[in-house]
Structure 1
Amino acid sequence: MATPHNAANMGDIAETILLPGDPLRAKVIAETFLENSVQFNTVRNMFGYTGTYKGKKVSVMGTGMGMPSIGIYSHELIHFYGVKNLIRVGSCGATQENAKLGTILMAQGACTDSNYAHQYQLPGIFSAIADFTLLKTAQEMAEAEGYPYIVGNILSSDVFYTETPEWKQWAKMGVLGIEMESYALYCEAARAGVRALGIFTVSDSIVTGEATTAEERQNKFTNMMKVALETAIRL
């Protein structure tokens, strides 16, 4: 059944899905790695595809930028389309010197400056964490391939252009990098009892000022994509 944001029918989307923020990255993943891929969504140009990877049905779909956007798409994927495993594949800005450009960061947990969890009316602060099976599998895949990776905490922020250097305070707490979606994804997955994981390629360093280009972020984060796909087929 179609939603206001997704034209797919039930059965069009696999139980395991990769979720890049950039819909063009979804297109690249489908065209590069999936066999017999079929596009199931173009609404708002948020492209979604389903195909097979090494014989297993896998989907990929863009989610846009920010927690409100991924909150909509992940909620619909879970509750309208029966998705059970959601793997965010994104980019992030590093807040630690050892997180070099191209390093894969795996979000064991997600901090936030957002009020996203307010909707659950909890009597405290919710700690948003990854599914351990997804995290362990992704770590094993990266280790086996020899890809540089770090596992730890990230910050999902509501603000891209900040007035103050708040990242330094998060860095003091060991936060590896900043992105804008995973806290909401982890909340949606926890509330529904399904699995979620955020993995990122370091696209820029807030510490050193180094950065990749938009084209590189769209097309060349293949190590992260391979880790996510290899994780997907082992569930």
Structure 2
Amino acid sequence: MKKVYHLDADEVPNRVIIMGDPQRVINLSLLLENPVEISKSRNLFIYKGYYNNKEVALASHGIGGPSAAIVIEELIKLGANVLIRLGTVGSLKKEIDVGDVIIPTGASYWHGGAGLGMYFNNICPPTNPSYDLVYDLIKEINNNQIRYHVGSIFSSDSFYAEKDYIDILIKLNFIGIEMECATLFAISNLRGVKSACSLVTSNNLIKGTKGDYNDVVKRIAKIILNVITSN
């Protein structure tokens, strides 16, 4: 009998990198030593393997807060206690270019959204990362000489409605917009596990620019792997 409702795995390593795109999980699994697919239910792929002689997992959480909430909860039930999201983000600052990295120090969301509306009984939950992971990510990114920015981001529920709210988010001084970080932070704080996010800028919403950022994604994946296997 399955231990959880949606994922096939019986257990996962305690260190997990989560991503929205299942194909990204498949591609980056090649960075691991002896990668093994342990779940593919609903195309939410999970691979486990070794990096720096420590067991880790890569998992897909799908798109948006509700999907991410399900996967995060089930990964925690299966043994995860350190989760770092590797994702993409739209820049809300002129100076944050495609390929730059954003390390969120907090994430906001519409009240009742992000898949969290039934969790907290109208109490606004903390949506901050674990600062030791943030510190380690910044240190490792500096060592690899990648441009990065630190600040607050906004986690959106509706990708195609975002354009109507960009001006408001800019005035509120958010530096980027994506869809899942607030969900990760809130549930991690609730369940007593560590989490953080490292986001690669896919487009600049101020300048209307896009570009190729896949090489940076691979570099950041290696950085996250170094961080989660350092202790």
Distance (Å, rounded) in 2 between the aligned partners of 1:163 and 1:102? 21
Q: CA deviation at 1:118?
A: 3.2
Partner of 1:150: 149
Aligned match of 2:86: 89
- Compute the RMSD of aligned alpha carbons: 1.7
Aligned to 2:184: 185
Pairwise CA distance, 1:129: 0.2
1:55 to 28, 53, 56: 53
Deviation at 1:114, TM superposition (A): 5.0
Amino acid at match of 1:100: D
Contact 1:95 1:168 in 2 (8 A): no
Q: 1:233: how far off?
A: 0.9
Change over 3 Å in CA distance of 1:149–1:208 after alignment to 2: same
What amino acid does structure 2 have at the position aligned with 1:71? Answer: A
Q: Is the Cα contact below 8 Å between 1:14 and 1:50 reproduced in 2?
A: yes
**Change over 3 Å in CA distance of 1:63–1:139 after alignment to 2:** same
Give the aligned residue type for 1:62. Answer: S
> 1:145 Cα deviation (Å)?
0.9
The corresponding residue for 1:41 is: 39
In the alignment, structure 2 segments of 5+ residues that lack a partner are none
The alignment partner of 1:118 has SS state of coil
Aligned residue number for residue 225 of structure 2: 229
- Of stretches 105-114 and 149-158 in structure 1, the one that deviates more from structure 2 is 105-114
CA shift in 2, pair 1:19/1:163, >3 Å: closer
- Opposite residue 47 of structure 2, the aligned amino acid is Y
TM-score, L = length of structure 1 = 0.91
Matched residues, number: 228
Q: Retained in 1: the 8 A contact 2:106–2:128?
A: yes
TM-score by length of 2: 0.93
Alignment map for 1:73-88 (pairs within 5 Å): 73-79=71-77, 81-88=78-85
Aligned 8 A contact 1:88 1:199 in 2: yes
- Runs (4+) of structure 1 exceeding 4 A deviation are none
Structure 2 counterpart of 1:49, one-letter code: Y
Cα distance, 1:96 vs structure 2: 0.6
Q: Secondary structure of the residue that 1:129 maps to in structure 2?
A: coil
Q: Deviations over 1:200-232 (max 9, x none)?
A: 10001111111136xx55x75122212211111
The answer to whether residue 170 in structure 2 is matched with residue 174 in structure 1 is no
Matched, 1:4 2:43: no
Pair 41,114 (structure 1): closer, same or farther in 2 beyond 3 Å: farther
The aligned residue for residue 69 of structure 1 is: 67
Uncovered stretches (5+) of structure 1, i.e. residues with no partner:
none
Letter in 2 for 1:221: V
Q: Show the counterpart of 2:202.
A: 203
Helix, strand or coil at the partner of 2:6: coil
User: Do the aligned residues in 1 keep the contact of 2:155 with 2:181 (CA within 8 Å)?
Assistant: yes
Deviations 1:49-103 (A, max 9, x none): 0001121111001110000000000001112x11000000001111111111001
The answer to whether the 8 Å contact 1:78/1:84 transfers is yes
Q: Describe the SS at the equivalent of 1:155.
A: strand
Deviation at 1:177, TM superposition (A): 0.7
Question: 1:94–1:177: 8 Å Cα contact kept in structure 2?
Answer: yes
